[in-house]
Chains A and B, each alone.
Chain A
Amino acid sequence: MATTASRPQDVLDALAEERRARQGNRVWRRLKAERKAFIGLFFVGFLALVGLLSPIVAPYDPDDDDFGLFQSPSIEHPMGTDSFGRDLFSRILIGTRVSLTIGILAALTALVIGVALGLVSGYYGGWIDSLIMRFIDLLWAFPVIILTVGMVAIFGAGARNVVIAIAIAYIDDFARVVRAEVLRLREEEFMVAAQSIGAADVRIMGRHLLPNIVAPIIVQATFAVGLGILAESGLTFLGLGVDPTTPTWGLALNEGRDFVRRAWWISVFPGVAIVFTVLALNLFGDGLRDALDVRGVGDDADEGA
């Protein structure tokens, strides 16, 4: 493609492509060197696999409640049964899928909106920037948990609204990160070049800016997935989370919280699942941040619950 390039536009695109490839290689090399990220990636991959395969792997129907209440872990029920008499192991497996989906959907939603806002804000500057950033400031001035509680109160509880509420709460993080990056890049040569040949704004943002800020976005998103999972369990604690038919880890943990002493396994296993997952995501994000040399992202990782 680069060889046949004739128009300045194509040349620039080709250069962008090459820059990306170079960067990609470097990232991969550094990622391999960064043990934390590698371990994190391995675990995240493992969880994703579990999530995908859970309906096949799960030994029982997660809703089947005929196994007796409060059965301690055994060969038949490796994690025991819960307070309804369901196989906890099967519910944790299915929960992997549900909880990850909630975390990922929330993170993606926040990412899409936040990145769009950050890009536009940083690229155009001026009053558009002011307007968007004031809105972001507003979001930021609300403590996350209060914002999500308010959202759920307005829209009602349930999985979909929980995702939306968590997403809205984390938009500002993405927007800030992206805007800062755009401001940094705006003065770079290739940007100036692209603008000077009269490339369309959308094209510049999409083909030149975005690929260069992928790194911080990915890092931020990695943290956001973990925060989303934590936030869901916190909302469920407040009675504002998913309805009792959505088998998230947060729900399982909450259903077990009254039985910590009577039947430790009901809260310990979902708790461990959450900790393990958030841990893996944080490790991965942390390692990625080092590998990609991103700064100032994900510093308030405890905001979730």
Chain B
Amino acid sequence: MTRYIIRRLIHSIFIIWGVATLVFFGLRAIPGDPVVQFLGAEYSPEAAEALNKKLGLDEPVYVQYFKWLSNTIQGDLGDSIATGETVDEAIRTGFPKTISIAFVAFVLALVIAIPTGVIAALKRNSWIDYVVSVIAFIGVSMPSFWFGIILIILFAVRLNWLPAVGYSSIEDDGLWEWFKHLVLPALAVGAGFSAILMRFVRAGLLEVLGSDFIRTARAKGLSERSVIIRHALRNALIPVVTIAGIQLALLLSGTVIIEIVFSIRGLGRILVGAILDKDYPIVQGVILLVSVIFVLANLVVDIIYTFLDPRIRYE
């Protein structure tokens, strides 16, 4: 097991390095001079040259690459070309927001998916099952920005229950405000996710309900309720956990569009804006972080999986 983890870790480092390198050179393939973005349309070539020099962008690309690599290894991710804020700062302010959205989305998805999945499984092929399935499918099929806009109009403008835009940190305004600001974006991001979870709960439960040990439990005269909750559901949730783990990483990318709709400057919005502005240091730094999270999340999921399901062993 330890050997497996070490091997996976080394493997992960290579993937992250590869991603970082690809991003570094890929960014430079985007047409347009990054300093022009900053200087505006009326820029003078002299000003552009001066700024390029100041930022070290006049050096050969490979020199820039090795400089960046060595700085990054030393923990210095550089400063934004556009705004001068450090990449650390961008990550420090953006990361909590994105994680908060993903986390609340995840929790809401579980809260929605488990009961509906259980009901759908127990009432298999009834109209409830179909209705739940169709709603789940619609959840997956809906463009998230549109869903987000509709949520805002419904719950913020019409009903005035929840705020329309923005983020509120726990330290500043407390847990409740934080949560209130996150409900709508989390719903918009998590709709598709909860639909997928729901399907897994349903499928998992159906499989378990047909298995021997449930029959045994029933034969022992346990109440149906306790059979389902104590035995069936617990086992059905094992694959759900793994899917959830993988999907949590995917939620991070789902927030890109939602962060724009809800005016929350999380990592996704920072990243997309920086790609369009050719803000090299920001893109490089944020992608580095995202790929680390992505790769590690998958590693953790694989490891957790071995604990949950003893049948799986990694050589």
Q: Which residues of A contact B (CB under 8 A)?
A: 134, 137-138, 141-146, 149-150, 153-154, 156, 226, 230, 233-234, 237-238, 240, 250, 253, 257, 260-261, 267, 271, 274-279, 282-283, 299-303, 305
Give bound CA distance, A29 to B295, whole Å. Answer: 41
Instruction: Please state if B250 and A271 are interface contacts (CB–CB under 8 Å).
Output: no
Is B115 part of the contact surface with A, judged by Cβ < 8 Å? no
**Closest residue of chain B to A238, judged by CB?**
B272
Give bound CA distance, A283 to B253, whole Å. Answer: 24
Is B51 part of the contact surface with A, judged by Cβ < 8 Å? no
What sequence of 0s and 1s flags, for each residue 277-315 of chain B, a beta carbon within 8 Å of any chain A beta carbon? 000000000010011001100000000000000000000
Instruction: Please state if B143 and A144 are interface contacts (CB–CB under 8 Å).
Output: no
Instruction: Please state if B272 and A156 are interface contacts (CB–CB under 8 Å).
Output: no
Instruction: Please state if B137 and A283 are interface contacts (CB–CB under 8 Å).
Output: yes
**Closest residue of chain A to B195, judged by CB?**
A302
Name the 6 nearest CB pairs between A and B, nearest first. Answer: A143-B253, A302-B192, A278-B141, A275-B141, A233-B143, A279-B141
A-contacting 9-mer, from B26-34, B54-62, B84-92, B165-173: B26-34
Is B43 part of the contact surface with A, judged by Cβ < 8 Å? no
In the assembled complex, the CB of A147 is this many whole angstroms from the nearest CB of chain B, namely: 9
Instruction: Please state if A138 and B247 are interface contacts (CB–CB under 8 Å).
Output: no
A-contacting 9-mer, from B73-81, B145-153, B179-187, B220-228: B145-153
Contacts A149-B272, A274-B141, A299-B243 given; does A261 touch B14 at CB 8 Å = no
**Closest residue of chain B to A231, judged by CB?**
B143
Residues of A contacting B250 in the complex (Cβ-Cβ under 8 angstroms): 143, 300, 302-303
Give bound CA distance, A138 to B137, whole Å. Answer: 30
Give bound CA distance, A278 to B78, whole Å. Answer: 42
Instruction: Please state if B253 and A146 are interface contacts (CB–CB under 8 Å).
Output: yes
A-contacting 9-mer, from B15-23, B211-219, B229-237: B15-23
Instruction: Please state if B15 and A154 are interface contacts (CB–CB under 8 Å).
Output: no
In the assembled complex, the CB of A248 is this many whole angstroms from the nearest CB of chain B, namely: 12
Instruction: Please state if A260 and B150 are interface contacts (CB–CB under 8 Å).
Output: yes
Contacts A226-B141, A230-B141, A271-B142 given; does A137 touch B254 at CB 8 Å = no
Instruction: Please state if B275 and A149 are interface contacts (CB–CB under 8 Å).
Output: yes
In the assembled complex, the CB of B258 is this many whole angstroms from the nearest CB of chain A, namely: 10
Can you report 8 A-B residue pairs in the complex whose CB atoms are below 8 A from each other?
A138-B22, A145-B272, A226-B141, A267-B149, A278-B140, A283-B137, A300-B196, A302-B193
In the assembled complex, the CB of A178 is this many whole angstroms from the nearest CB of chain B, namely: 20
Residues of A contacting B295 in the complex (Cβ-Cβ under 8 angstroms): 141
Is B50 part of the contact surface with A, judged by Cβ < 8 Å? no
Give bound CA distance, A279 to B136, whole Å. Answer: 10
In the assembled complex, the CB of A182 is this many whole angstroms from the nearest CB of chain B, namely: 21
Instruction: Please state if B141 and A282 are interface contacts (CB–CB under 8 Å).
Output: yes
Instruction: Please state if B137 and A154 are interface contacts (CB–CB under 8 Å).
Output: no
Give bound CA distance, A301 to B192, whole Å. Answer: 8
**Closest residue of chain A to B286, judged by CB?**
A146
In the assembled complex, the CB of A137 is this many whole angstroms from the nearest CB of chain B, namely: 5
Instruction: Please state if A257 and B149 are interface contacts (CB–CB under 8 Å).
Output: yes
Instruction: Please state if A267 and B247 are interface contacts (CB–CB under 8 Å).
Output: no
Instruction: Please state if A237 and B257 are interface contacts (CB–CB under 8 Å).
Output: yes
**Closest residue of chain A to B256, judged by CB?**
A145
Residues of B contacting A277 in the complex (Cβ-Cβ under 8 angstroms): 141
Instruction: Please state if B15 and A305 are interface contacts (CB–CB under 8 Å).
Output: no
In the assembled complex, the CB of A243 is this many whole angstroms from the nearest CB of chain B, namely: 16
Instruction: Please state if A305 and B143 are interface contacts (CB–CB under 8 Å).
Output: yes
Contacts A154-B26, A154-B29, A302-B196 given; does A145 touch B257 at CB 8 Å = yes
Cross-interface CB contact of A146 among B14, B149, B287, cutoff 8 Å: B287
Is B114 part of the contact surface with A, judged by Cβ < 8 Å? no
Instruction: Please state if B290 and A230 are interface contacts (CB–CB under 8 Å).
Output: no
Residues of B contacting A226 in the complex (Cβ-Cβ under 8 angstroms): 141
**Sample of 7 more A-B contacts, CB < 8 Å, known A138-B19, A143-B294, A145-B254:** A146-B256, A146-B287, A234-B257, A260-B150, A301-B192, A305-B143, A305-B145
Give bound CA distance, A149 to B143, whole Å. Answer: 16
Give bound CA distance, A230 to B137, whole Å. Answer: 13
Is B276 part of the contact surface with A, judged by Cβ < 8 Å? yes
In the assembled complex, the CB of A256 is this many whole angstroms from the nearest CB of chain B, namely: 9
Give bound CA distance, A250 to B144, whole Å. Answer: 12
Instruction: Please state if B143 and A150 are interface contacts (CB–CB under 8 Å).
Output: no
Residues of A contacting B26 in the complex (Cβ-Cβ under 8 angstroms): 150, 154
**Closest residue of chain A to B28, judged by CB?**
A154
Residues of B contacting A301 in the complex (Cβ-Cβ under 8 angstroms): 140, 192, 196
Residues of B contacting A303 in the complex (Cβ-Cβ under 8 angstroms): 250, 253-254
Residues of B contacting A154 in the complex (Cβ-Cβ under 8 angstroms): 26, 29-31
Instruction: Please state if A141 and B294 are interface contacts (CB–CB under 8 Å).
Output: yes
Instruction: Please state if A146 and B290 are interface contacts (CB–CB under 8 Å).
Output: yes
Cross-interface CB contact of A234 among B15, B22, B145, B275, cutoff 8 Å: B145
Residues of B contacting A237 in the complex (Cβ-Cβ under 8 angstroms): 143, 145, 257, 260
Give bound CA distance, A141 to B26, whole Å. Answer: 15
Give bound CA distance, A38 to B245, whole Å. Answer: 32
**Closest residue of chain B to A234, judged by CB?**
B257
Residues of A contacting B201 in the complex (Cβ-Cβ under 8 angstroms): none
Residues of B contacting A253 in the complex (Cβ-Cβ under 8 angstroms): 143, 146
In the assembled complex, the CB of B71 is this many whole angstroms from the nearest CB of chain A, namely: 22
Cross-interface CB contact of B19 among A142, A156, A233, A274, cutoff 8 Å: A142
Give bound CA distance, A260 to B151, whole Å. Answer: 11
Give bound CA distance, A260 to B150, whole Å. Answer: 8
Residues of A contacting B101 in the complex (Cβ-Cβ under 8 angstroms): none
In the assembled complex, the CB of A37 is this many whole angstroms from the nearest CB of chain B, namely: 13
